[in-house]
Amino acid sequence: MSETPVVRLEKQGPIGVIIVNYPPVNALGPGVSDGIIDCLNQANADPAITAMVLIGDGRSFIAGADIRGFGTGRKRPPLGERTYDVLDRSPKPVVAAIHGYALGGGLENAMACHYRIAVPSAKVGLPEVLIGILPGGGGTQRLPRLVGAEAALDLIVSGRHVPAPEAKALGILDEVLPAGENLRDAAVIFALKMADIRPLPRVRDRTVTAEPALFEAKRKQIARRARNQRAPYACIEAVEAACTLPFDEGLAREQALFAELENADEAKALRYAFFAEREVAKLPDLPTDIQAYDFRKPAVIGAGTMGGGIAMSFADFGYDVKIMDASQDALDRGMARIRSNYATSVKRGSLAQAEMDQRLARIHPVPGYDDIKDADIVVEAVFERMDVKKPIFARLDEVLGPDAFLFSNTSALDMDELASVTRRPDKVAGTHFFSPANVMKLLEVVRPAKASPQTLVTAMAMGRRIGKISAMAGNTDGFVANRSRAPFNSEMVILLEEGCLPEQVDRVMVDFGYPMGPFAVGDLAGLDIGAEGRKRRAAANPNYRKLPIADKLVEMGRYGQKTGAGWYRYETGDRTPHPDPEVAAIIKQVAAEMGVAQKTFTDTDILQRLLFASVNEACRILEEGKAYRASDIDVMWLHGFGFPRYRGGLMFWADGIGVRAVYNQIAAWHQEYGDRWAPSRLLRDLAESGTAFRDAKPAPFA
């Protein structure tokens, strides 16, 4: 029996229905574009067919191009021979019938059709900028002709997905069907109505104009967000071409810009990040048939900043969640903070008042353990101390049903020790949310020795179900994210001892692409938090490298924004960091007391001192089997620490410099600074073998 073709033509009366069947999401993979063209030619050659419908089987219309093909040198059809061009010049009308997603090349094919209809739940968009390129199938030329230059700029430069009702209002869609109506049948009826209408409404025949000021304003608007990136600006140039050039010349300009972007470092890094985010969900040493528990009754212990944010994360994704704290006063403060966070989103326009009310109604404050005894998943989010967490875990173990899972939001504590106070260590795992928990995308799932495969799979799935990117980490001090970041945090303060100032370091990292510098971030998080971790590590390790400048600020009560002073000074009601001469004096005083010689640093010196320290530690993590892949560490840095996405991630960036060059510099600093810069064994092995960081083979997960 022959295989089902990826595209097939069926007849429904006088309408030819062209069906794309390339699971799981009908990407434009091998054979799809050629199949659409073949079916289109068959239908146009058949006198019994008066019009056509282009539709997708399964979950989507056409979800976009197959990203794996970008940057491979594959040959593309020339202008005039692509599906978009063949659809556009079809002598018989073609109706695009959209469900699921019509993204990238999917929307470009739809816009090349003569009509577009969709179900209410469909979403459309041109998200190519998110992988460092621009729409290369006429999207930058057709979309402005449908919706106008200003709206097209917004959609193409942001890459956002547009719900069907908005797409209809903008002019992308001709019709949105009533909920529940059969898409194929409705599309056939629509095609029958349009079959004899001439001339055919081709998008290419429309005109669009715009004042040059519109494009200059857009460039200024994105200047900070698009720093160091080329693709957003190329998108603006392409839309500008749609307004100033004939259609075919605009297509040629789009193609030239696409060719410029496709193999640039920016696009390579963004494609890498795209695939790394999918790879991180794979747990290669666990049985593939393990199913995540379908939890329905989550609860959160602790109504502080983290607990409240975690409760919001559940509520934001439709879960009713109970939240508990030690006192009614603490619970009331926590709920007030949650309301305030939601109200801020409403004020900014990112959340409707009705949606706020619905989400808030899903969060149920309760006074005691008996009120959560029916919970099937509990996330503990109290103060980061073992002597605080242990009694709570022991009590939860007594109260909850035997099948309930116990998760701890801890950033560094030993999960084996915490699991040991329960009678269900197989159902205990760490779930390290990043602050603010309702905003940050990363969830680090920490794997204690006795956790069952189902517990781990359930914790990973829990993160995905509440909008997070879940990544597995071994049970080691700081786990993977914070442990790999710790040398960065130390080195940035040590640089101050040697002659830097906080504002110099922050400027270098912002120029590199971070949204905020690390000292400003420290003030935002609270310097007392880092001090607590340093005390714990110093107590456990007599050789721990202390940071006297940071400790001095904390001793003075300079905790950051919450006290009006930290590394920077803050005016009342203003979060803008102002360089503080008092901090410069403290740095100078402490450095003199330590007898550290002062020197000047280039921007490259600062950047490499911070990031190479973490690359070396990441190699140690891999050689100890505490992470599955170097790309998992990259995902954690992208979504936990704001590492610039267009640089791919910490390890991908280091690969761009070269393993040997990284090793040589770290070895030189080892000679200059001592043991804290000792090269890891894995780093040395990779340098000697010429193996890239992303191809490193870590030890079995431990």
Domain extents in the chain: 7-263, 298-476, 499-600
**DSSP class of 569:** B
**150 has catalytic annotation:** no
**DSSP class of 125:** E
Rounded Cα distance, 523 and 527, in Å: 6
Whether the per-residue pLDDT at 2 is higher than 70: the answer is no
User: Do β-strands 469-474 and 298-301 pair in parallel, antiparallel, or remain unpaired?
Assistant: unpaired
**Structural element, H or E, at residue 298:** strand 298-301
Beta bridge partners of 429: 407
**128 has catalytic annotation:** yes
Residue labelled with tokens 């909850």: 400
Give me the amino acid identity at 448: P
Whether the per-residue pLDDT at 1 is higher than 70: the answer is no
What digits encode the pLDDT tens for the residues 205-255? Answer: 999 999 999 999 999 999 999 999 999 999 999 999 999 999 999 999 999
What's the whole-number mean pLDDT along residues 259-285? Answer: 96
What digits encode the pLDDT tens for the residues 62-101? Answer: 998 888 888 777 788 888 899 999 999 999 999 999 999 9
Residue labelled with tokens 């997708």: 56
**DSSP class of 116:** E
Give me the amino acid identity at 61: F
Please check whether residue 110 is in contact with residue 102, taking contact to mean a CB–CB distance below 8 angstroms.
yes
What's the whole-number mean pLDDT along residues 295-299? Answer: 98
Please name the residue ranges forming H helices in 204-246.
Answer: 212-222, 231-244
Percent of the chain topping pLDDT 90: 91
| Catalytic residue chosen out of the listed positions 3, 10, 128, 384 | 128
Rounded Cα distance, 623 and 700, in Å: 9
Pick the CATH number of 499-600 from 1.10.10.10, 1.10.540.10, 3.30.70.1350, 1.10.1040.50: 1.10.1040.50
| Catalytic residue chosen out of the listed positions 108, 262, 444, 503 | 108
Give me the amino acid identity at 11: K
Rounded Cα distance, 144 and 191, in Å: 25
What digits encode the pLDDT tens for the residues 507-556? Answer: 999 999 999 999 999 998 889 878 877 887 788 788 888 899 999 999 99
Query: Which fold does the domain 298-476 belong to in CATH?
Result: Rossmann fold (3.40.50)
Q: What is the pLDDT of residue 72?
A: 73
pTM strictly above 0.75 = yes
Please check whether residue 316 is in contact with residue 345, taking contact to mean a CB–CB distance below 8 angstroms.
no
Q: What is the pLDDT of residue 407?
A: 98
What digits encode the pLDDT tens for the residues 431-450? Answer: 999 989 999 999 999 999 99
Which CATH code fits 7-263?
Answer: 3.90.226.10
What digits encode the pLDDT tens for the residues 372-417? Answer: 999 999 999 999 899 999 999 999 999 999 999 999 999 989 999 9
Q: What is the torsional sign of CA 486, 492, 498, 502?
A: negative
Rounded Cα distance, 68 and 129, in Å: 16
Token pair belonging to 105: 């090349």
Rounded Cα distance, 98 and 117, in Å: 6
What digits encode the pLDDT tens for the residues 593-638? Answer: 999 999 999 999 999 999 999 999 999 999 999 999 999 999 999 9
